[in-house]
A and B are shown apart, each in its own frame.
Chain A
Amino acid sequence: MARAAELMDFDKALDLYEPVIGLEVHVELSTETKMFSSAPNPAAKGNHGAEPNTQITPVCLGLPGSLPVVNEKAVRYSISLGLALGCEIAPSSRFARKNYFYPDLAKNYQISQYDEPIAFEGLLDVELEDGTVITVPIERAHMEEDAGKLTHVGGATGRIQGAEYSLVDYNRAGVPLVEIVTKPIFGGEHRAPEIAKAYVATIRDIVRALGISEARMERGNLRCDANVSLRPRGQEKLGTRTETKNVNSLRSIERAVRYEIQRQAAILSNGGSIIQETRHWHEDTGVTSAGRPKSDADDYRYFPEPDLLPVEPSAELIEELRAALPEPPAALRRRLKTEWGFGDQEFQDIVNSGLLVEVEETVAAGASATAARKWWMGELSRIANAQQVEPATLATPQQIAEIVALVDGGDLTDRLARQVLEGVVAGEGTPAEIVEARGLKVVSDDGALIAAIDEALASQPDVLAKIRDGKVQAAGAVIGAVMKAMKGQADAARVRELVLERAQA
């Protein structure tokens, strides 16, 4: 169990030190097949969660004699992403081998890019919660393959220490990745943690808009390593940095950066020094713990990958992809705000909740902006919060739009619709199927309603008398009884109409 280190108060830390952050984001591309093999890509839509070691070919296992072949679509996706990050695209870039032994790395080298990345020198505008725009300098974006996944069995914590044995799943081996590396981000000051979060959120929005990644952080489609260092006020030389890994949600990024600033400040102010190392973020306890020491001299013996030719996209292709770029996130937000007619606060709430894409897609699927906002920001966020997951994992925009349509069409009341949503979250099927299976449809058969009303009126003759005397508000008691008898599956307004009608009969 990772223990909390000594922390300095955040504001005090900022008084003494300037934080400098650098972010490495790995994006799993959602191509149908892997980066260098014809194996199905588990990061593609709908391919998640296959049995271990079933999404593999000899190439994924690094079997003797197997050779990689570059996935052209992954290259196109990478170029699009590079362009969206404001990068230059290299007319010729090369793959390189990064050599190190680890059992999740089938060949014991990773095919990556080293000194010749496909995209470099970018600038990305990132909008903070209050609308402030920060420009983040991008160093490079390069293509590489993901490694397999190790499961350590027998230890108390699922960590390698103390495990009896480990299992390797190579399904993920060879999933196409783009690694985006920022230059050091200066001047963030108190907002450094927020900048880190907003930066990753912006990348998430971009890759979703491009349709090149599922971008589900909880599934590892989007992973962030946060480099943090502090330097005493007035000092030019950068401090020693740590690299915090395993930060798998937007909220965690902000928390992890904040934690590292406070932790490092406490050490530095006590006269200690920061160890250059990777650190692991623990979502549950909100702390980081030491990983392996990392030095700049780590020797991966990079050399150009001799099994692959240089990647040389034509100028025409680059321009074609540039022309097809979607709106940058900030511009998109301005447009949607106008189209939807929300006020500043209403709209900013959606943005800050990270649900803009969901709302947008729900509207695109036919729902009104108001209804889409209501469902995502309301019921879905409430359930997500209770379950400690992202709302987007609970339902799809299409499902929400379908529920909204059922309500609009009078087939569901709001109350029934919430039950349908419960069913959707529980994975019981489409809203229509759930309505059917749970028998949630509004009772629109007047015959059934009338029978219930007549029975209620008969059992409450005093109320009937009052209604007949013109005391219409007395009908409430009968309506309540009828709704109860209908188990809530009736339209209350219609019931009211019918009650008044029957009372006069």
Chain B
Amino acid sequence: MSDLTRLSAAELAASLGKGEISSVDATQAHLDRIAAVDGDVHAYLHVNDAALAEASAIDAKRAAGERLPELAGVPVAIKDVLCTIGMPSTAGSRMLEGWVPPYDATVVERMKAAGLIALGKTNMDEFAMGSSTEHSAFGPTRNPWNLERIPGGSGGGSAAAVAAFEAPFALGSDTGGSIRQPAAVTGSVGVKPTYGGVSRYGAIALASSLDQVGPVSRTVLDSALLHDVVGGHDPKDSTSLTGAWPSFAEAARAGRRDGSLKGLRVGVVKQIADGEGFQAGVTQRFRESLELLADAGAEIVEVSAPNFEYAVAAYYLILPAEASSNLAKFDSVRFGLRVTPEGGGTVEQVMAATREAGLGDEVKRRIILGTYALSAGYYDAYYGSAQKVRTLIQQDFSAAFAQADVLVSPAAPTTAFKLGEKLDDPLAMYLNDITTIPANLAGVPGIGLPMGLAPEDGLPVGIQFMAPAREDARLYTVGAALEQLLEDRWGGPLLSQAPDLSASSMLAVSEGAI
């Protein structure tokens, strides 16, 4: 049998549907792959020991002639920010080590209803704060392209799992780029849906007004398929949008048809296209991609979004402010870690000791920042001003979408940096999200997909498209179209050029050598 881990989710679903393979085969293949390479990659925090039993149950239903959903039996990985019955859900924090929620996140519930098999929970920066997954309390994830490099963050685990063929696709969450930036630096595809397009119920909150759950995969179609499963209105999330959504898989398939780009107005956002902080190889591949789009009939226009300049600054006030409040619940009283000071103490002292021991430096940094930004006398200057900038950025988007159907930029300014390189320079780390943050501030959808390898370091670079709110389908069409043009040029998927980890594991750096 050929290596099932090399198949896309769509291909697995097709084979499963035809009875050519079983879900147990597909699941076992991925569990084997995890056993073989995850010691190096560390994409998973927890592997689902019930996966094979669940797969076998799906196989039994199929054997009994039951009509099953399209993706039934296909394995999937789940970012550890999502609550799962029966599996620990830690959000990468010591605070929640071993905590097993009594309920499933809505997206997990829907995933299960669709017959998907959870392979396990993937690593992430603690409470999704970070761009490298180095802030996980349980050790960093490594980039499958180069084990000395970061896989991006906060969803480095999901992106690395997909890029290392440890899962065909995965669920992630994106607050300022945590799906798209890891996708960019691992050569995979990631989508941040329209704010409200996917339920946040059961996603451990970082910044409620920015968080959005979305798919990570190796192909645009696979992200669309997963988005179709988990998306749509959820009465448990008040910010969830009502109304029907089109089939994103259909939109992706439409992108692969000839002429799908004809007449499409693609707006290059001047402020986040290139310039200071953008690596040469990123800019080069970006320009080449624009040429491909133009050759296929798209109209490339330059648009200006003057307030994007302030996006990172505004984001790093709004996010910490909301996070400081969202993370207050981690106080040892009802769940999670409890640290009692020597000789006992009052509840306040226990709370303080628990938070001191259970939260990492980056989390503490942001809680302090956010608490300050919300304080009386500072609120207007910080949180208030940031909200005004947010409005201005939304206006920039509106103006830009008057001139273009989709906006385009690199998905990240650089390729994957080395583990430890920016750990002591939070500002440099924050700037890595310069291209992705505006979409979160405006609530518009964005997709990141590979656009090649940077010539200078041979590492993947990604391109990002953004569409008006609710127009996620447009992203799948454009993304699938460009994906096809690029794969034709490369002679196959970019990830087929990635190192085969199981054969080259001797190249892996030894444990703890960062």
Contact = CB atoms under 8 A, between A and B. Distances in A.
Contacts of B331: 101, 103, 108
B328 A99 contact: yes
Interface in B196-231: 200-205, 207-209
B103 interface: yes
Interface stretch (A65-73, A348-356, A438-446, A457-465): A65-73
B376 interface: yes
A106 B329 contact: yes
Interface string A50-64: 000000001001111
Contacts of A306: 207-209, 239, 322
Interface in B100-135: 101-103, 105
B333 A103 contact: yes
A284 interface: no
A63 B334 contact: yes
Interface string B439-466: 0000000000000000000000000000
A66 B201 contact: yes
Interface in A276-327: 297, 299, 301-303, 306-309
Given A106-B334, A307-B208, A58 B103 contact: yes
A101 B351 contact: yes
Interface of A is mostly: loop
A374 to B, nearest CB: 52
A70 B376 CA distance: 27
Given A63-B334, A64-B204, A297 B91 contact: no
Contacts of A101: 328, 331, 348, 351
A63 B330 CA distance: 9
B236 A61 contact: no
Nearest to B207: A306
B490 interface: no
A65 B83 contact: yes
Interface of B is mostly: loop
- Report which residue of B83, B235, B329, B376 has the largest number of chain A beta carbons within 10 angstroms of its beta carbon: B329
A63 B201 contact: no
Interface string B61-83: 00000000000000000000011
B389 to A, nearest CB: 16
Interface string A322-348: 000000000000000000000000000
B329 A301 contact: no
B347 to A, nearest CB: 5
Contacts of A299: 375-376
A65 B376 contact: no
A211 B203 CA distance: 38
- Report which residue of B209, B325, B371 has the largest number of chain A beta carbons within 10 angstroms of its beta carbon: B325
Given A108-B331, A307-B208, A64 B238 contact: no
A205 B497 CA distance: 77
Contacts of A97: 325
Nearest to A150: B347
Interface string B334-357: 110000000000011001000000
A99 B102 contact: no
Instruction: Determine the interface band of chain A, counting residues with CB < 8 A from chain B.
Output: 20 to 34
B204 A65 contact: yes
Nearest to B335: A63
A69 B371 contact: no
A232 B89 CA distance: 61
A301 B371 contact: yes
B486 interface: no
A97 B325 CA distance: 8
A67 B325 contact: no
A303 B101 contact: no
A107 B82 CA distance: 18
A59 to B, nearest CB: 9
B374 A301 contact: yes
Nearest to A108: B328
Nearest to A36: B238
A63 B200 CA distance: 14
B202 to A, nearest CB: 4
A370 to B, nearest CB: 52
Given A64-B83, A303-B374, A309 B201 contact: no
B203 to A, nearest CB: 6
Given A69-B236, A109-B328, A303-B325, A62 B334 contact: yes
A302 B201 CA distance: 23
B383 interface: yes
B417 interface: no
A109 B321 CA distance: 13
Interface in B226-264: 235-239
A303 B378 CA distance: 12
B98 to A, nearest CB: 13
Contacts of B371: 301
A166 interface: yes
Nearest to B321: A303
B379 interface: yes
Contacts of A67: 200-201, 236-238
A110 to B, nearest CB: 11
B164 interface: no
B201 A65 contact: yes
Nearest to A307: B208
A70 B238 contact: yes
B96 interface: yes
A307 B379 contact: no
B349 to A, nearest CB: 12
Contact of B105 (A65, A107, A108): A65
A190 to B, nearest CB: 38
Contacts of B238: 67-70, 307-309
A168 interface: yes
A482 to B, nearest CB: 68
A131 B208 CA distance: 53
A307 B204 CA distance: 12
Contacts of B89: 64-65
22 contacts: A58-B103, A63-B83, A64-B91, A64-B96, A64-B99, A64-B204, A64-B330, A64-B335, A65-B89, A65-B101, A65-B202, A67-B201, A67-B237, A101-B328, A101-B348, A101-B351, A103-B347, A301-B379, A306-B207, A306-B208, A306-B239, A309-B238
Which 9 A-B pairs give the minimum distances between C-beta atoms?
A108-B328, A306-B208, A301-B374, A306-B209, A65-B202, A64-B204, A65-B83, A62-B329, A299-B376
Interface of A: 58, 61-70, 97, 99, 101, 103, 106-109, 166, 168, 297, 299, 301-303, 306-309
Given A58-B102, A64-B335, A303-B325, 13 more contacts: A58-B103, A63-B83, A65-B101, A65-B203, A66-B202, A70-B238, A103-B331, A109-B325, A301-B324, A301-B376, A307-B205, A307-B239, A309-B239
